Chain A
Amino acid sequence: MKTEVLHDPTLGEKVHRAVLPSGLTAYVVRKPEFTRSYATLGTRFGSVDTCLGRDRKGTPIPDGTAHFLEHKMFETPDGDAFDRFAALGASANAYTSFAQTQYLFGTSTHYEQNLRELFDLAFELHVTPENVEKEKGIIGQEIAMYDDDPDWRLYFGALQALYSRNPARIDILGTPDSLAPIDVDLLHAVHRNYYHPRNMVLAAVSPEPVSTTLAVAEEKLRGRKFGPAPADRPPPPKEGRRAAVRAFELRLSVTRPRLLLACKDTPPGRRGRAMLRREIATAIVLDCLFGNSGSIYLEFYEAGLIDESFYASATADASFAFAMLGGETDEPDRLRKAFETSLRRARREGIDKDAFERVRNKELGGYARAFNSPQSIASMLTANYMRKTTIADYRELLLKVTHADVNQRAREIFDPVGRAYGLVLPR
């Protein structure tokens, strides 16, 4: 087993990284000052994976399969996996996003047994035709819930406006129609293909010794047979910088309009340090312009165009990157014009130098704060695996990012050809 230790002396934190004989990557942080242990087991399989096969390019699979499989992993021969964790004092959960599916638990007792349960949860699939059909009803109600949620509708509506071919446009939940053909055989085939240790990562934060976690991870996968591991995601179908649709409108049962500006960013292409550096620069751009002290945020707030429902977020994977900005507003037309004017100015004049320095300081504080909670440590570690970077890269790159990098990023993210506006209006 190959193990390395990464150390941050200022924060006094140590991260152990190991690649186990099965090929599973494990990150372990020992936190004796915490009561709770927290562990996640994630696979690089999400809504953007639309086909089976080692090269991820074989038989197409229905939209929403990754999320459906996540639900079904909780079936065990003697009931629900939630019960097994609960009996050991843990609460378990899972979620599916564009590029990954994650299983997790938190507990303050029986850490070792819970960790074993976590491996069973992700590696043992027990499905029957009956319980697969039943799940379609439950997920049908999950979809109905999100169909009434204006923010969710805008978000996925915006992705469909930005992309014509990139699978980031697919709703993570799928639709009742797309889920209809899912059956036992398909779920097994998908599970075999993507729940492969070489495609997976364990992140554990616990007061228990590092060796406890590594020993369980090694033992649970010892002797298990796996086929060939899935390769990295192939590049998505080519599409240009231009947003597929410039604007769309929905009428829902709401009292106030909401406007969302979606910005199609250039995809980073390759994983690694350059991708992280870009993410940091993107975060600084958004914070300088749209954070609590952001110049455009404050300008819009003072003008009464937005309120605290406003948010700005950026999402990036190797093959797609986008930013979303928006919130409730009484004057969507004025807000839209204000976006156009302010973003044109931001691209031309760049980011204020003082704001850049200040926000970088703030990010350093945020990085220290992330070590306060086992959840945020684990998610930082998982993100590093997905991005192919290490925990030590963050602080180093944060200090290396230049004002010029940030200005360059602002010009790319806010390129007018990549913008789409989504609007929700009261019925």
Chain B
Amino acid sequence: MAASGPLFQTETLGPGVVLHHRRTKAFKTITARVTLRTDLDERAAARAMIPRLLSRGTRRLPSIAALQIELDRLYGSTLGGEARKIGEQHVIQFRSDWVLDRIAGTKLTRAMAELQAELLHDPAPWTESIFEHERKVLLDEARAVFDDKSRYARQRLIDEMCRWEPFARPSIGRIAEIEALTLDDVRAAHADLIARAPVDVFLVGNLTFKQAYAYARRLGLHENRKPRRLKRPPRVGASKVRTITEKQPLNQAKLEMGFRSTIRLWSRRYAAMVMANALFGGTAIGRLFKEVREKKSLCYAVSSVIERSKGLVLVQAGIDPANYRLARRTILAELKAMQEGDVPLDSLEQARSMVLSGLRSMRDSPAALIEFALERTVNRIEPELEALEAALEAVTPRQVAAAARTIELDTVFLLTSNGEGGEA
């Protein structure tokens, strides 16, 4: 077992700039993540362009090739950025890792801090032609969602279900927003991000707090900042159930069911909700896998996930188009059974054992540790892994049923076949 104590040691470097450091000798690499956060708003597309344009290099390494060649030379270090959303916050994040100085025989940590700082403050000049190229790439990325039917169905569900909420906006913005972007919009978003976004710097690996602190300072983000205060998403209740159907020439239908719950990451009953989801469709021992797949043979893939910041439970099943009604009915019946108290203790123990084991093994993955802490930082709570483990240990079947009773169906989205099959 890992030693107890806080998961990350934190230190504020300046207004809105926090270092999160975890020292561990388990890895051959050091993993860093730098995040800059804002509200998820109509400028999402402009911000999503920033990591794209930064991948074009720095003044010192002024092309994709120059930047990538430098990373190869640094023993295959990685450095890349992207836009994502956590609840209703927009996160621009840069991920990097590099092998330990001891293995490389050279001072990579310092070189990587300098490279990350260059990327943030001193990018290669952004020309109109580079901007247009990267905008097209972003647009293609947004359009490509249509081609991945699972992703498309999920995006359409969220689109319909959360149509009055900021959460509906994709992390790279809407297609129309990307189409309307100008280079000035991106420059303004970049300046705003550097000056006003709360910044978190995560470092995991075999480096001392002093070294981590030096890394974070080298990024040059801790001076002259006026960070905004960001909010957690407000609570939204379930509306009258709406069903939306869309047809395409497909072999398999994707059934998406969106539920709302009052329980969120910071709720007292969060641990019970985690167990309710594990028993519903979050694991291969859940009811959906057992009933919809194994007993009724209706599908290969079926699962539920919780969107912790928003309080959503999202179910997806890949089914034969003819089985839509039966699949929908079966999924709702399984939820109802749980709500009515059908939560056998032995199933709960199995699921608990699995969830706890998964949670413990997060300590073996730098990325998972950082995700855990980041999601909690965004929602303004402490990343307390051991407290969560203790809360999960204590969940009873009655609490699971009570958590399940907070889950209410809101929207159903069915992507189904138009009867023409998958081939022309």
Contact = CB atoms under 8 A, between A and B. Distances in A.
Interface in B73-108: 73, 75-77, 97-99, 103-104
B293 interface: yes
Interface string A236-268: 000000000000001111111000000000000
A331 interface: no
Contacts of B99: 365, 368-369
Interface string B133-148: 1001100110110111
Contacts of A402: none
A374 interface: yes
Given A142-B300, A256-B140, A309-B144, A251 B423 contact: yes
Nearest to B366: A372
Given A86-B351, A145-B318, A35 B422 contact: no
A368 B69 contact: no
Contacts of A137: 297-298
B396 interface: no
B300 A368 contact: no
B354 A86 contact: yes
B1 interface: yes
Nearest to A354: B69
Interface stretch (B214-222, B248-256, B376-384): B248-256
B149 interface: yes
A298 interface: yes
A427 B146 CA distance: 13
A365 B76 contact: yes
B371 to A, nearest CB: 15
B326 interface: no
B205 to A, nearest CB: 10
A254 B1 CA distance: 48
A147 B422 CA distance: 7
Contacts of B351: 86
Interface stretch (A87-95, A209-217, A412-420): A87-95
A91 B289 CA distance: 14
B25 interface: yes
Interface residues of B, number: 72
B408 to A, nearest CB: 28
A213 B103 CA distance: 29
Contacts of B75: 361-362, 364-365, 368
Interface in A1-51: 10-11, 31, 33-36
A35 B250 contact: no
Contact of A293 (B69, B97, B294): B69
A141 B300 contact: yes
B267 interface: no
A298 B64 contact: yes
A328 to B, nearest CB: 6
Interface stretch (A55-63, A102-110, A224-232): A102-110
Contacts of A330: 140
Interface stretch (B7-15, B26-34, B181-189): B26-34
B319 interface: yes
Given A108-B358, A292-B68, A362-B72, 13 more contacts: A36-B360, A91-B358, A107-B357, A109-B353, A109-B356, A141-B299, A144-B252, A148-B422, A253-B249, A358-B73, A361-B75, A372-B366, A373-B365
Interface of A: 10-11, 31, 33-36, 80, 82-83, 85-92, 106-109, 134-135, 137-142, 144-145, 147-150, 250-256, 292-293, 298, 301-302, 304, 307-309, 328, 330, 358-359, 361-366, 368-369, 371-374, 427
